[in-house]
Amino acid sequence: MSLSMYWPKRFGLAVMLSAALFTSCVRKKYETPITKNTQQPDKVLFDSAMRDIEHGRYEIARISLQTLMNTYESSEYLAKAKLAIADSWFREGGGNGMAQAEAEYKDFILFYPGMEESAQAQDRVCDIHYKQMDKSDRDVLQTLRAEDECKALIVQFPNSKFVPDAMQKLRNIQESLAAHEMAAGSFYWSRQMNPAAANRLNALVDQYPLFSKAGEALYEAGDAYSKMGPRFRKQAGEMFARIVSDYPLSPRVKDATKRLEEMELPVPPVNQQALARAKWEQENYKKPSILAKSMGIVKGGPDVQHAARSGQPTMTDPKRTMPASIPIVNNEPAVASATPATGTTDVSVSNTTSNALDTKPDARGTAAGGATAGTTTPAATTTTAAAPVAPLPTNRDAEMKKYQAMQAKKQAKLDKKKKKSNEQKETSAPATPAASATPAATDTPAKPPQ
């Protein structure tokens, strides 16, 4: 056998060995070293720990840094040593390493809030959760934690150099959270659970106005409101109007305009500031490369390619909202009047403090209306009957309609079958002779009169 058969194996082995040797020789430099060159023992310990961190000997580096902090309590490298311990855990990675790094960064911010490195520590805490975010259709725990930490960086260190990057991270985070809410709202809308869909999608756009699919969310919310009856016509018009005015480049603008014209509602003018921002986003959008598209299949994080790159992200927590199918409780005392009360209240609750048995000597003779039998009620106390209020829509309206149609179809089949069986009985019954209907005169002679 010739040596050429073994050449591919030898060549591949040589490449692997050279790559391993190259990666072992390359080291990542520590970001915040101290350039002061002295021979003080605390500085010697700090430099030794920095070399260990750069070469991946994190446990040895933490021992040296802890020795420095315990031995030289008044050292000028004390704060740097505490930050370096957190950085060593951050570089080590893994679930345990990230948890330890977050705790150490939080301690550093607590002990040294006025140092410039505190903003860097808070930025690292934001990165810890940002890198652990999952896809939008999965668990959003790490996404919510990343949102809180990025907000804390912007609020606590507004003049830091890390704020612009944190702002973009926050936009990406809120794009992922909005996509998570959009998936739930579209699920309800596709199954005609209109109250739940309208509530979820409307609250989504109110909380995250920079969402790339806000126009689509508003259209689905408006369509859900329009299917809930004429009572919610105003809310449906507001959803369609917001698409035209606030999201003029949305693909749903034409559909929203058509729906407004069909509802005979005015079409609002376009918001020029929103139009300028949408054009800027469209011009500065960078299409992902072929490699990025192929890696997106195996990528664990959310897809934030369409996230906004301008505008102020939301800094407030989401508000709790209730679907329209939940009635509003009215705790105000009822007042008798000649005209029925107006408003959106559907349920009223009141406590009964007294009854007829407590106020009258004998309530057995009272009529149903509360007046004694035989007496008439004054005309001033009578109230006009209120007009019947349309029932509130529910999330099961479509299912109930299908069930009622199915039951009606079954009943129609049963009626048809019963009618057919009755017709068969009538046709199969033997005809009775006419003579047998009346008795013959000779069979029973007439009885003579007495």
| pLDDT single digits (tens) 155-188 | 999 999 999 999 999 999 999 999 999 999 999 9
Q: What is the pLDDT of residue 1?
A: 44
Q: pLDDT > 90: what percent of the chain?
A: 52
Report whether pLDDT(431) > 70. no
Lowest-confidence region among 128-137, 313-322, 386-395, 420-429: 386-395
27-51: per-residue pLDDT in tens?
566 565 555 555 688 899 999 999 9
pLDDT at 376: 46
3-class DSSP string for the chain:
CCHHHCHHHHHHHHHHHHHHHHHHHCCCCCCCCCCCCCCCHHHHHHHHHHHHHHCCCHHHHHHHHHHHHHHCCCCCCHHHHHHHHHHHHHHHCHHHHHHHHHHHHHHHHHHCCCCHHHHHHHHHHHHHHHCCCCCCCCCCHHHHHHHHHHHHHHHHCCCCCCHHHHHHHHHHHHHHHHHHHHHHHHHHHHCCCHHHHHHHHHHHHHHCCCCCCHHHHHHHHHHHHHCCCHHHHHHHHHHHHHHHHHCCCCCCHHHHHHHHHHCCCCCCCCCHHHHHHHHHHHHCCCCCCHHHHHHCCCCCCCCCCCCCCCCCCCCCCCCCCCCCCCCCEECCCCCCCCCCCCCCCCEECCCCCCCHHHHCCCCCCECCCCCECCCCCCHHHCCCCCCCCCCCCCCCHHHHHHHHHHHHHHHHHHHHHHHHHHHHHHHHCCCCCCHHHCCCCCCCCCCCCC
For residues 351-370, give the mean pLDDT: 56
The predicted pLDDT at position 290 comes to: 79
Residue 366 φ then ψ, to 5°: -80, 150
Q: Are 222 and 195 in contact (CB under 8 A)?
A: no
pLDDT at 106: 96
Work out the pLDDT band at 293, boundaries 50, 70, 90: confident
Higher pLDDT, 410 or 344: 410
**Cα separation, 15 vs 9, whole angstroms:** 10
Mean pLDDT, residues 11-17: 51
pLDDT interval class at 82 (50, 70, 90):
very high
Tokens 């652990």, residue located: 132
pLDDT in tens, 97-126: 999 999 999 999 999 998 989 999 999 999
Please give the structure tokens belonging to residue 317. Answer: 């927590």
Which one, of 230, 137, 235, lies nearest residue 186 by Cα?
Answer: 137
Termini Cα distance of the chain = 145
Per-residue pLDDT, 426: 81
Spatial distance between the Cα atoms of 255 and 246, rounded to a whole number of angstroms: 15
Is it the case that residue 418 has pLDDT exceeding 60? yes
Residues contacting 125, CB < 8 A, separation 6+: 102, 105, 106, 149
pLDDT band of 201, cuts 50, 70, 90: very high
Nearest to 109 by CA among 253, 265, 101: 101
Burial classification of residue 194, based on how many CB atoms lie within 10 Å of its CB (0-12 exposed, 13-18 middle, 19 or more buried): buried
Decide if pLDDT at 10 tops 80.
no
Query: Can you tell me the mean pLDDT for 406-435?
Result: 78
State residue 45's pLDDT score: 92
d(CA 273, CA 102): 40
Separation between Cα atoms, residue 197 and residue 325, nearest integer Å: 11
Rounded Cα–Cα distance for residues 263 and 346 (Å): 26
Cβ atoms of 90 and 96 closer than 8 Å: no
Q: Where residue 3 falls among pLDDT bands split at 50, 70, 90?
A: very low
Beta partners for residue 330, in sequence order: 348
pLDDT category at 413 given cuts 50, 70, 90 is confident
Say what the pLDDT of residue 408 is: 86
Structure tokens at 450: 């007495």
Q: Which residues in 406-420 are b (16+ Cβ under 10 Å) and which e?
A: eeeeeeeeeeeeeee
**Is the per-residue pLDDT at 377 higher than 50?**
no
d(CA 118, CA 124): 10
Task: Output the pLDDT for position 396.
Answer: 76
Mean pLDDT lowest among 52-61, 166-175, 196-205, 407-416: 407-416
Of 60-74, 79-93, 157-171, 403-417, give the lowest mean pLDDT range: 403-417
Average pLDDT value for residue range 186-202? 94
For residue 372, the cross-strand partners are 366
Instruction: With 0.75 as the threshold, say if the pTM is over it.
Output: no
Query: How sure is the predictor about 414, in pLDDT bands with cuts at 50, 70 and 90?
Result: confident
Contact in structure between 116 and 135 (CB atoms under 8 Å): no
Mean predicted lDDT score pLDDT of the chain: 81
